[in-house]
A and B are shown apart, each in its own frame.
Chain A
Amino acid sequence: MKQHPLCTDTECVTNVLDLAVPAQVKQQWAELQTRRHFLGRAGKVLGWAAIASLFGVDRAMRGDNYSSAGAAANDSLKFPNFAPKAKRAIYLFMSGGPSQVDLWDFKPNLAAQFDKDLPDSVRGSQQLTGMTTGQARFPVAPSHWPFKRYGVSGTWVSDLMPNMGRIVDDLTIIKSTNTEAINHEPAIMLMNTGNMNAGKPCLGSWLAYGLGSMNDNLPTFMVLQTKLNTAENNQPVSSRLWSSGFLSSEYAGVGLRSSGDPVLYLTDPNGVDREVRRKMLDAVNEINRQTYEELGDPETNSRIAQYEMAYRMQSSVPELADLSKEPQSTWDLYGPDAKVPGTFAYNCLMARRLSERGVRFTQVYKRGWDMHDNVTKILPIICQETDRGCYALITDLKQRGMLDDTLVIWAGEFGRTVYSQGGLTPDNYGRDHHPRCYTTWMAGGGVRPGITYGETDDYSYNVVKDPVTVRDFNATILHCLGIDHNKLTYYFQGLDQKLTGPVPASVVSGLLA
């Protein structure tokens, strides 16, 4: 038996694996990857070793059969904890921080406040970002665009999003979302993984881990990135956001590329047919299995699973990406942009197709909402890009009967300030990051349609009613998918880790259907 590559302890003389202990315990020993694992689990393993020597071989081996049977029976029964309303989710992530003041949070009284100072009582003792903390004054910048009331619910929506106005009766709008982070990276990590620091699994990975796949031919969690628009101020998004953290890498999000082949190297090279590919994979898998037996690294098993998934995706992805069978009504609905791979509309259409094919969680990233200046020029561009796609996706899911069991989420990492960053003119202004309140929405399975939840003050600056923290937001999403956020845990670093973190979170019952 080889020494584990990460084990530097050369003094290690007695090998537990040679003792008569249950195979499962041996495997645990082999999986001791880090010092923390070692310290955490060594006691149990050594305890078994002690039992083995006390009671003799037979009794310890009998324990083996018992425990492995128990584990298998428990495996499939944990989640969902209760009958879910939604079987899958689509998360439209608006990276950069969309301006709630200009899109959803209508404040008609602000027009009279133009260029007046934001009262200190409203801002309080808040620490601002380095970008505006040095400003001499904080002039109020009312939204440049008028709002209209839409739908039976009479929801106010900015003229920038005329199509969104048509579906407000299907949306659950949350005006009181608030976060603790004021800069992009921590805020976007917090939103996606429940923690500002990298290394925690994201929402999609937790769902994949808890609920598993509905279609073995496609990944459980897929990520679609929208092509950059250089007219906008794009903040980077990275694979940390769809990482599985300490969970097995099988649960990480699989990205589809926005241009060219959706998945690189998926097509067989010339001269290699399916048969040859299969034989090659079988051989590689065999080698990997031997490696696993030798070293016991669970990531080796993940690798085998990923090779197998890639093989199946060789046939499932071309079918997925082939839009030729979509009827004309699809193009009428999603608009001409949808024919261009990598656009937001295309990704919305793709998200619908992925959901149709049983992908549990699809996340669409749209960057460019970070508008520190020139709001009046850039905001119409990005709204033009996204308005139709969101409308089309909700409408399409609804007409196809999918909105009943699909949860759609639209959110950024924070909102934007009501005061202008930099100069305020009658025609233009900028807005800084604003964590204290921002607007998000959900639609579909599990949430109550046609309502607006939470209220902000007259300056869209502080939440005055029904605040929804990021933890509560994520707990509510899990609830819609049938998961109790306190039960979806994974033991790591001495803690039962959760998406919502160790601070208590609660499901926002006011949002539920």
Chain B
Amino acid sequence: MTTLRSIAEPVRQMLPSKQSTRIAWGASLGLSLLLLSLPWLVRLDGHPHADWQQFLGRFHPLAVHLPIGLLVLVPLLEVAGAPRPALREAAGFVLALAFASCLLALTLGFLLAYGSGTSGAGVTRHLWGGVALTIIVLLCLLARPRRHAHASGCAYPTLLACMMIALVWTADQGGALTHGSNYLTQYMPAGMKRMLFLGSAPSSASFFSRHIHPILDANCANCHGEGQAKGGLRMDSYDLLMKGGKDGPVIFAGSAAKSVLFQRITLPPDHKHFMPAEGRPPLQPEEIAWIKAWIDQGASPSLAKLAGVAIREELPEIPLEPVGDYSSLMPEIQKMAQGQGAKLKQVSAKPSDGLILFTVDSASSFDDAQLAQFRKFAPYIVEAELGRTAVTDASFDTLKQFIHLRALHLEETKITGAGLPKLASLSHLSYLNLSGTQVTAASVASLNSIKSLRHVYLYNTPAQPAPAAARAPQPAPTATAATQTKEKSVL
């Protein structure tokens, strides 16, 4: 019984007791029902309507920031009101203002969606978010005065919390409509993405998925995607793209000239029908060329290569990782710089970019023992130029401690490759030059475990002797000059 009473008590407290409050509750209930039924009363049919609606509607992205700011302020004022009651008093006014601005933003938003004929799952979600938020704000407004009469009530704080959640979710949905759903995460550090399981989609080998789809995704899918499908057209998957919009297909496989998509991206940018619309930047010439070639050659979802189109595959840049603070070692580094012999130089004016070990001044006398003296600098060295020095395979015991090493030059040394597996611990190593050493194909194979490795140079080694292709060039065009550069994948 006591449990039941403890639940019933706050409910009873919330129920209206005075005539005026009863009217307020009644009016609110009516307004809420109206808001809830709005999407059914006026259906978003995906067709553009009156211009004045669009004109007013486009003020939605502007007006919408007003309730956001005010709503965030409300809980802050309530909390800050504990020591300073004047602030708490202000919260009521701010909340009322927020509610009015919510109604305004909601109206404008609805006009925008209806007037411009935007529809789609994203728009619907954003709309419902806006409706729900407005109703919660209304409830907050109603629940608030009662809270002061009965200080123990928890309805109001709960409603405020709900309001904040609804606010964040609705704002995020709206942001996704204007900027694209990956706007916030696009430049997120890779490590953080992995933590949040935002790993990139498995890359398929087809030309469409590697080159065409990303172009459409970046330039078109905002308006023709899951969120909005203007003109009934969605371009976020191959099948939907080929299906076309309400006026029919946009791609005519085999002829770019006959394809509406190609026609519209190649109009003059100030043309009424130019795409991407609404002043978004036109596609790059090379992107247009790829789309043209792709459509002309059958608009295939699976074709891996297109005749006449060459795209250099660029591996993503490996970000530089700060090496840490070595300022206590600076006097020693500066002393080295004064003398003859091996020295450490900063990569750049930013100390955390690390140090480069130069040995060229005294290459012939620089041996494993001298290298070992650099152990105390080990975590700070990002590049080691040991070409033409007297180091041997024993040097790998020191080198494996250079945990931030990105580039390692060992060309023309006595390295045989026996120590190469010790480099496996260097998780940043992307460049390794073994030209002119005695490394063999077998010893080089151990490098496969270093995921970061991009370039391995094996020119003039038993692993890769100078090929005959480098001999006297013929005065005839060939595809590419023979190269001894081995990309990681080839190894």
Residue of chain A at shortest CB distance from B412: A356
CB distance from A475 to the nearest CB of B (A): 18
* B360–A358 touching, CB < 8 Å: yes
- B337 at the A/B interface (Cβ < 8 Å)? yes
* A399–B470 touching, CB < 8 Å: yes
Known: A80-B349, A356-B387. A398 touches B473 (CB 8 A): no
By a CB distance below 8 angstroms, the chain B residues around A151 are 310, 479-480
* B361–A215 touching, CB < 8 Å: yes
- B411 at the A/B interface (Cβ < 8 Å)? yes
Known: A399-B485, A401-B457. A165 touches B480 (CB 8 A): no
* A80–B348 touching, CB < 8 Å: yes
Q: Mask for A80-96, Cβ within 8 A of B = 1, else 0?
A: 11111000000000000
- B189 at the A/B interface (Cβ < 8 Å)? no
**A322-381 with Cβ < 8 A to chain B:** 327, 329, 332-333, 335, 356-358
* A154–B457 touching, CB < 8 Å: no
* B481–A401 touching, CB < 8 Å: no
* B361–A332 touching, CB < 8 Å: no
State which of B337, B350, B478 has its C-beta within 8 Å of the C-beta of A76.
B337
CB distance from B321 to the nearest CB of A (A): 11
Known: A148-B477, A153-B310, A215-B360. A76 touches B346 (CB 8 A): yes
* B460–A404 touching, CB < 8 Å: no
Complex CA distance for A472 and B127, rounded to whole angstroms: 49
* B477–A162 touching, CB < 8 Å: yes
* B470–A329 touching, CB < 8 Å: yes
- A116 at the A/B interface (Cβ < 8 Å)? no
CB distance from A485 to the nearest CB of B (A): 15
CB distance from A186 to the nearest CB of B (A): 34
By a CB distance below 8 angstroms, the chain B residues around A148 are 477
- A482 at the A/B interface (Cβ < 8 Å)? yes
CB distance from B10 to the nearest CB of A (A): 61
By a CB distance below 8 angstroms, the chain B residues around A335 are 472
CB distance from A165 to the nearest CB of B (A): 5
Complex CA distance for A152 and B475, rounded to whole angstroms: 18
* B476–A162 touching, CB < 8 Å: yes
* B348–A388 touching, CB < 8 Å: no
Known: A216-B340, A401-B459. A77 touches B477 (CB 8 A): no
Main secondary structure of the interface of B (DSSP, over half): loop
* A81–B348 touching, CB < 8 Å: yes
* A77–B475 touching, CB < 8 Å: no
By a CB distance below 8 angstroms, the chain B residues around A217 are 361
Complex CA distance for A152 and B310, rounded to whole angstroms: 6
* B349–A78 touching, CB < 8 Å: yes
By a CB distance below 8 angstroms, the chain A residues around B340 are 216
Residue of chain A at shortest CB distance from B406: A83
CB distance from B479 to the nearest CB of A (A): 7
A-B contact count (CB 8 A): 120
* A82–B348 touching, CB < 8 Å: yes
Residue of chain B at shortest CB distance from A216: B361
Residue of chain A at shortest CB distance from B485: A398
- B58 at the A/B interface (Cβ < 8 Å)? no
Complex CA distance for A449 and B480, rounded to whole angstroms: 13
Known: A82-B350, A214-B358, A358-B358. A163 touches B460 (CB 8 A): no
Complex CA distance for A153 and B407, rounded to whole angstroms: 28
- B146 at the A/B interface (Cβ < 8 Å)? no
By a CB distance below 8 angstroms, the chain A residues around B351 are 77
- B466 at the A/B interface (Cβ < 8 Å)? yes
Complex CA distance for A395 and B483, rounded to whole angstroms: 7
Complex CA distance for A327 and B461, rounded to whole angstroms: 12
- A461 at the A/B interface (Cβ < 8 Å)? no
Complex CA distance for A214 and B351, rounded to whole angstroms: 18
* B480–A149 touching, CB < 8 Å: no
CB distance from B271 to the nearest CB of A (A): 20
Known: A152-B312, A388-B473. A398 touches B483 (CB 8 A): yes
Q: Mask for B322-348, Cβ within 8 A of A = 1, else 0?
A: 000000000000100100100001111
Q: Mask for A224-236, Cβ within 8 A of B = 1, else 0?
A: 0000000000000
Q: Mask for B438-468, Cβ within 8 A of A = 1, else 0?
A: 0000000000000000010101100000100
**Size bin of chain A's contact surface:** 35 or more
* B484–A79 touching, CB < 8 Å: no
- B471 at the A/B interface (Cβ < 8 Å)? yes
By a CB distance below 8 angstroms, the chain A residues around B368 are none
* B361–A401 touching, CB < 8 Å: no
Complex CA distance for A431 and B473, rounded to whole angstroms: 30
* A333–B349 touching, CB < 8 Å: no
By a CB distance below 8 angstroms, the chain A residues around B409 are 401
Complex CA distance for A279 and B346, rounded to whole angstroms: 35
Known: A76-B346, A358-B360. A401 touches B485 (CB 8 A): yes
- A473 at the A/B interface (Cβ < 8 Å)? no
CB distance from A145 to the nearest CB of B (A): 13
Known: A162-B477, A216-B340, A395-B481. A76 touches B334 (CB 8 A): yes
- A150 at the A/B interface (Cβ < 8 Å)? yes
By a CB distance below 8 angstroms, the chain A residues around B134 are none
CB distance from B353 to the nearest CB of A (A): 5
Complex CA distance for A37 and B435, rounded to whole angstroms: 52
CB distance from B305 to the nearest CB of A (A): 11
- A166 at the A/B interface (Cβ < 8 Å)? yes
By a CB distance below 8 angstroms, the chain B residues around A80 are 347-349
* B473–A166 touching, CB < 8 Å: yes
Complex CA distance for A341 and B404, rounded to whole angstroms: 43
Complex CA distance for A81 and B350, rounded to whole angstroms: 7
- B320 at the A/B interface (Cβ < 8 Å)? yes
CB distance from B357 to the nearest CB of A (A): 12
- B119 at the A/B interface (Cβ < 8 Å)? no
Complex CA distance for A76 and B338, rounded to whole angstroms: 11
- A106 at the A/B interface (Cβ < 8 Å)? no
* B411–A169 touching, CB < 8 Å: no
**A461-490 with Cβ < 8 A to chain B:** 482
Residue of chain A at shortest CB distance from B466: A329
Q: Mask for A133-172, Cβ within 8 A of B = 1, else 0?
A: 0000000000000001111111000000011011101100
* B435–A400 touching, CB < 8 Å: yes
- B377 at the A/B interface (Cβ < 8 Å)? no
By a CB distance below 8 angstroms, the chain A residues around B348 are 79-84, 482
By a CB distance below 8 angstroms, the chain A residues around B460 are 327, 329
* A154–B358 touching, CB < 8 Å: no
Complex CA distance for A82 and B475, rounded to whole angstroms: 42
- A450 at the A/B interface (Cβ < 8 Å)? yes
Complex CA distance for A137 and B52, rounded to whole angstroms: 61
- B431 at the A/B interface (Cβ < 8 Å)? yes
By a CB distance below 8 angstroms, the chain B residues around A358 are 358, 360-361
Complex CA distance for A193 and B317, rounded to whole angstroms: 33
By a CB distance below 8 angstroms, the chain B residues around A77 are 346, 349, 351
By a CB distance below 8 angstroms, the chain A residues around B459 are 399-401
* B470–A332 touching, CB < 8 Å: yes
Q: Mask for B109-146, Cβ within 8 A of A = 1, else 0?
A: 00000000000000000000000000000000000000
State which of B310, B312, B470 has its C-beta within 8 Å of the C-beta of A154.
B310
- B279 at the A/B interface (Cβ < 8 Å)? no
By a CB distance below 8 angstroms, the chain A residues around B484 are 398-399
- A459 at the A/B interface (Cβ < 8 Å)? no
* A401–B433 touching, CB < 8 Å: yes
CB distance from A453 to the nearest CB of B (A): 12
By a CB distance below 8 angstroms, the chain B residues around A400 are 411, 433, 435, 457, 459
- Extra 5 A-B pairs, beta carbons < 8 Å, given A153-B312, A215-B360, A399-B470: A77-B346, A83-B353, A148-B477, A398-B483, A399-B459
Could you pull out 17 A-B pairs where Cβ atoms are within 8 angstroms?
A: A79-B348, A81-B348, A84-B347, A84-B348, A149-B477, A150-B477, A214-B358, A214-B360, A327-B460, A356-B387, A358-B361, A398-B481, A398-B485, A399-B435, A401-B459, A449-B312, A482-B348
Q: Give the B-binding residues of A (Cβ under 8 A).
A: 76-84, 148-154, 162-163, 165-167, 169-170, 214-217, 327, 329, 332-333, 335, 356-358, 388, 391, 395, 398-401, 404-405, 449-450, 482
Q: Give the A-binding residues of B (Cβ under 8 A).
A: 308, 310, 312, 320, 334, 337, 340, 345-351, 353, 358, 360-361, 387, 407, 409, 411, 431, 433, 435, 455, 457, 459-460, 466, 470-481, 483-485
